Chains A and B, each alone.
Chain A
Amino acid sequence: MLADAWIVMLKEWREVLFRGMGMRGSIGFFGLVVLVFGVAIPARSGSLWVTVPWSALTAAWLPLMLVMAVVADSFAGERERHTLETLLASRLSDGAILLGKVAAAVVFAWGMLLLVAAMSLVTVNVVVPRAQPWLHPLLWRWEEAFGVIVLGLLVTVLCATIGVMVSLKSETVRQANLRLSMGLILFFPAIMLLFVGVYSVMPADVQIVVLDSVQTWRPGPVLFVITLVLTAIDGLLIWLSSRLFVRNRLILD
């Protein structure tokens, strides 16, 4: 199944990423992402990029944007361009098709995230003047590195799986994009409201502890809990999407 998923993933990249925007458009877009997030912003931040931990985690939302570029097209695009039925009539299993579609978004977005993160560290080390830079490189602590690499992957899987499910249930790419955009618009205010709501009902002494832990950044246990929760949510969503992907129903849709 993995070999088949790989074939689907490569087709998806070739068709959606490179041909969808045109080769020049794709290179321009991806180049711009790397320049802005891997060079321009870290260069402006200087050493703060590695010393202020929150700067590393701001990269966590990058996969969300990158996944959006691929995922709306996954099933809605096949349906709109009348290629879905031929794909379903092939020897590919349900799992291989679904996994290939999710992997196309995850590997692309996570790969871009890692590339941007690596570029940002190179940029910071180049632009910050100091003695013996090769002996004492500016690097994130393990917590930030963990946040970018592991949480970045989990967030990417989360976004890709939700995106594929939305695309699975959409008739056109436009509809899928619209639904994803609306979800995104509602998602951030909802999270903000949730945090503000929870914070406001906390006793005053707890509020002080929370503020202190955020300001002094002791993320170890927090990262552990977030990782567990995200892994569970990802697993649940992948199971749910596999339940949604039923050949008979897709044909009727």
Chain B
Amino acid sequence: MPSPAIRTDGLTRDFASIRAVDGLTLEVAEGTVFGFLGPNGSGKTTTIRLLLGLLAPTSGDIEVLGHDIRTGAPAIRAASGALMEHSGLYERLSAWENLEFFARVWRIPKGEREARIKELLESIGLWDRRGELVGTWSRGMKQKLAVLRTLLHRPRLVFLDEPTAGLDPIAAAALREDLLRLVAEEGLTVFLTTHNLAEAERLCSQVGVVRRGRLIAHGHPDEIRVAAAGNRLEIAGRGFTPSLLDGLRSRQDVAGAVVVNGRLCVELATGGTTPPVVAFVVGAGADIEEVRRAADSLEDAFLNIVGEAERDAG
């Protein structure tokens, strides 16, 4: 089994009396796009800084691309690309000069350097504007260029800290499209922080939900949505009569039943499972076309999960 690109164990970071990251245990498989979701101030940026060795952990272990952070931080940075909170571009330099500087930093040989910059700038339609000062560009263009900068040296792992934050919906969608294509082309691992749930749903194959530095949910976006939706069934078909509803409501494994827009929605009680309920509905004479576990949007799921954690915290 291949080793994970990122592995943390009990990772904790304190700033004076504030615990920014609290016992984070996480694995990100190589080749996946991992979304790290959380409200503002939940420790997402601090986690990226810890993973890059820009901050030292208070306690816990970090292994990135097989390197321990305590001894291998330079090797981790050498094999990674990072777009932090700000684009980090030199606004007094042109797009070409920005990429050329970083290509030199990553020691890309001269001939390859120019070809690579051209390839990347052409891929997002900015080749003709390579001589313009970055300071004169829109925020969307700057973010695109900053994403290219992270990919310049063909890293194995890329950290993107809220790459679409502050962009208008059109620019954000365009950046997401470019990002998806580039990630597929380059075949890399991406660690993406965002509080844009639609973005996470679109881009990520795995997500982790973090609140106040603690990981409170982790898995595929669909698993998160289903888990957060609770024990609900949606049954499409015909023959959902009032007597069928009464029969369902009287069962111990059903907490509630209602027909919405012609669909029978059943809330299972704790411990309730799908097959006996479906058998009861069929036995009551209903014709079933489809049965599925109900799922909220990832955004609803996120709000549920964070809200529950908030209530549990008191």
Interface residues of chain A, those whose CB is within 8 Å of chain B, are 4, 7, 11, 14-15, 19-20, 81-83, 85-93, 247-248, 251-252
Contacts and interface: CB of A to CB of B under 8 A. Distances in A.
A248 B106 CA distance: 22
A88 B105 CA distance: 12
A87 B102 CA distance: 9
Nearest to B146: A86
Interface string B47-90: 00100111110000000000000000010011010111111111
A91 B105 CA distance: 7
Contacts of B97: 14
What is the interface residue range for chain B against chain A? 20 to 34
Given A15-B93, A248-B56, A7 B88 contact: no
Contacts of B74: 91, 93
B92 interface: yes
A7 B104 contact: yes
A19 B93 contact: yes
B92 to A, nearest CB: 4
Nearest to A251: B54
A85 to B, nearest CB: 5
Contact of A85 (B54, B90, B105): B54
B101 interface: yes
Interface in B198-220: none
Given A83-B89, A85-B88, A92 B54 contact: no
A87 B106 CA distance: 11
A179 B48 CA distance: 33
B85 A85 contact: yes
A86 B84 contact: yes
Contacts of A89: 52, 54, 77, 80, 82, 84, 159
A202 B56 CA distance: 55
B82 A11 contact: no
B55 A14 contact: no
Contacts of B223: none
Contact of A248 (B55, B85, B149): B55
A242 to B, nearest CB: 16
A90 B105 contact: yes
B27 interface: no
Contacts of B87: 82, 86
**Shortest 10 CB-CB distances between A and B: which pairs?**
A86-B88, A82-B86, A19-B92, A91-B78, A89-B82, A7-B104, A85-B84, A11-B101, A251-B54, A83-B88
Nearest to A93: B74
A4 to B, nearest CB: 7
A247 B90 contact: no
A88 B54 contact: yes
B84 A15 contact: no
Contacts of A83: 86, 88-90
28 contacts: A7-B101, A15-B92, A15-B93, A81-B90, A81-B91, A82-B86, A83-B86, A83-B88, A83-B89, A85-B86, A85-B88, A86-B83, A86-B86, A86-B89, A87-B88, A89-B54, A89-B77, A89-B82, A90-B102, A91-B105, A91-B106, A92-B105, A247-B53, A248-B54, A248-B55, A251-B49, A251-B54, A251-B55
Contacts of B86: 82-83, 85-86
A70 B205 CA distance: 47
A105 to B, nearest CB: 17
A15 B149 CA distance: 18
A210 B250 CA distance: 111
Contacts of B85: 82, 85
Contacts of A82: 85-88
A212 to B, nearest CB: 54
Given A83-B86, A86-B84, 8 more contacts: A82-B87, A82-B88, A85-B88, A86-B86, A86-B89, A87-B88, A89-B52, A90-B77
Contacts of A4: 105
B96 to A, nearest CB: 12
A7 B90 contact: no
Contacts of A93: 74
Nearest to B106: A91
Contacts of B88: 82-83, 85-87
A14 B105 contact: no
